[in-house]
Amino acid sequence: MAARPFVNYPDPKEGADLEYRIPVPNNPAVRGLSLVAASTLVHYLGPVQRLLWNNTGFGRIKDIPGLGDEVATYSPRVIPTGDPAASASAETILPFGADVTEPQHTAHATRFYSAADYHALYTAGTITPLDVVEALLPLVQRDLGSIYETAFLVTKVDELRTAAAASAARWAAGRPLGLLDGVPFSVKCDIDVAGYVSTNGINPRLDDPAFGKKYPRLLQPATKTAWPVRKLLDAGALLVAQNNMHEIGMDTTGCNPRNGTPINWYNTTYYPGGSSSGAASALGAGLVPIALGTDAGGSIRVPPSFNGVYGLKPTHDRTIVMDSSTCITGPMAGTVADLTAAYRTVSQPNPADPVTGKFSISQPIRTASGAIKKPVLGIPRDWVNNSDPEVKAMFGNLVAHYEKQGYEVIDVAIPYLAEGQSAHAPLCLVEGLDKIRDRAAPNRDAWPGMLNAQNNLLLTVIKQASAVDFAKCNQLRTILMRHLAFLWEKHGSALTIVTPTTPMVGWPKHEGDAKYGMLDGNMTLRCMQYVWLANVTGCPSVTCPMGYGTPAQGEGNVPVGVLAMGEWGAEELLLQFAAEAERYLHNDYAGGRQRPVKWVDVVGLAKAEHEKIVVQEPK
């Protein structure tokens, strides 16, 4: 095999079992008071815990023949280091082209604003960053009566106004920091920002001093800002608020009975997706053009898919090293231009970090003549065919569009897809249990008192996982990574594996879920049918809206997404795929891109703020 510019690249090897067996999960749905009762019962009865563990099928992974022939991979860290034969470059970020710096799709009335729009308006003096902040503050703060408030948790008003004033002064002096200077963004509440408490969606119950005394970490603000947030702040972007999320990230609905569930503004009777629910809700409503989230099982891809926006899960460990074998921090955005700008900004190698500092900046894949190579779409047909008919039809229409644009489309097969998803779940849950015990310190064994009934039940059952189960899940990870390496060796690095983001048209809410929460394991597994593979293998993956489905309830069409996964380090290839999907949505999809009824015209509000300031200024 030819030398590759990677560290830890898997040895390519085709998987032995390529047949996709449609899983038939048998996990009962529980909700409301029944969920509360079940959570209490399971917590105290070990035999019931074992019964539920066996019912999930997660424990069957250890009996897959041949797993013992593979060395377990406990971290899917594959580092693209660049071509050692190429000349060294001091660049830490791929420059922005006109596709990022100039407003896109301006002929369409339903387009979303991007950083380029803000940049142009600031340049012209039509609005200022202070105008934008004053327009947003009534909408993003808690307890002011905003219909959008459940998407957010904390806004540091004085700090935000100070940062906006500094940005406005730079613009007035003609010395902005760049494209993102003065552009609003938000951050999921499990990402550290100095001065903010990273609650992970847990309600700290500030009205109960005993709760805070028992769990002091829920009241301790972070002392250091995570690298991806820092890079956006360094670029002059304005952190307007911390986003709400699904409690501890342990489902894909976004249902949070204690903090409130963010709203899917396309159809308010559907869930916004999780766990980055607040971020995606805010993006779908047009409140911010960029948000940062985390993704251990689709959490920056499922919510954008449900809310009609974009999300990019980077290569494992590229943006920041997290204590997880599945989770990574990455950007979500209302447009591909902003997804690109945010990704390139937050993925700059951290020279102080021994891992992220080794990553080369992501580059487009080029042909021998130097031309940028188009993605090759690899379709796992049997897997895709397990989607609902309306989703499958949308997917087929989109793939046909790519073929018309000259993209190559091929069939691919991947081994152990059902089994791999069953391995992903305990990996996430075991790591989640470890984190929540630490968060409960010094009362680690009292962790159940922090959580709602759904998460108590999930994490109590996962205690039945053994060390053998964990080892075997990581051996299966090795098989999957080696098979993907085989596919890229066979078909080239431009291969992208393309599926729907989820196999169904959204996730309808159920009456009564808001008060106590819900747990529907079968629906969760179906929702995550495609997204988990990138988490287990560490590959980058992007979601893009590809259409709008017919709702089963409520009013308003429900966004449906397409998912693409690339080779380690192939983020720029995925952004290229996303740009074509965006063109399709605006220009070729029947009806074009849609915005929800309650979409917020932030620019219009900022212009009104600017006019008030101008009128009030003495002549």
In angstroms, the Cα distances linking 451 to 138, 141, 151, 293, 433 are: 30, 24, 19, 21, 11
In angstroms, the Cα distances linking 287 to 136, 185, 301, 525, 599 are: 7, 9, 19, 30, 8
What are the tens digits of pLDDT across the range 211-222?
Answer: 999 999 999 999
In a domain, 109, yes or no: no
Which of the four pLDDT bands, split at 50, 70 and 90, describes residue 617? low
In a domain, 110, yes or no: no
Which of the four pLDDT bands, split at 50, 70 and 90, describes residue 24? confident
In a domain, 103, yes or no: no
pLDDT of 85 reads 45
Range of the domain at 504: 6-84+117-357+365-616
In a domain, 497, yes or no: yes
What contacts 296, CB < 8 A, 6 or more positions away?
Answer: 249, 324, 326, 327, 328, 428, 431, 535
The DSSP 8-state label assigned to residue 67 in this structure reads G
In a domain, 99, yes or no: no
* pTM (global) more than 0.95: yes
In a domain, 97, yes or no: no
Please, is 85 exposed, middle or buried when counting C-beta atoms within 10 Å of its C-beta (0-12, 13-18, 19+)? exposed
> Under a CB-based contact definition with an 8 Å cutoff, are residues 321 and 353 in contact?
yes
What are the tens digits of pLDDT across the range 34-61?
Answer: 999 999 999 999 999 999 999 999 999 9
Which of the four pLDDT bands, split at 50, 70 and 90, describes residue 2? very low
In a domain, 106, yes or no: no
Q: Where are the beta strands (DSSP E) in 20-91?
A: 30-31, 79-80
Domain count of the chain?
1
State the DSSP string of 174-231. Answer: T---STTTT-EEEEETTS--BTS---TT----TT-HHHHHHSGGGG--BSS--HHHHH
In a domain, 450, yes or no: yes
* Whole-number average pLDDT of the chain: 95
Cα dihedral angle (505, 506, 510, 511), rounded to 10 degrees? -110
What are the tens digits of pLDDT across the range 316-354?
Answer: 999 999 999 999 999 999 999 999 999 999 999 999 999
Phi, psi of 283 (to 5 degrees): -65, -45
CATH assignment at residue 552: 3.90.1300.10
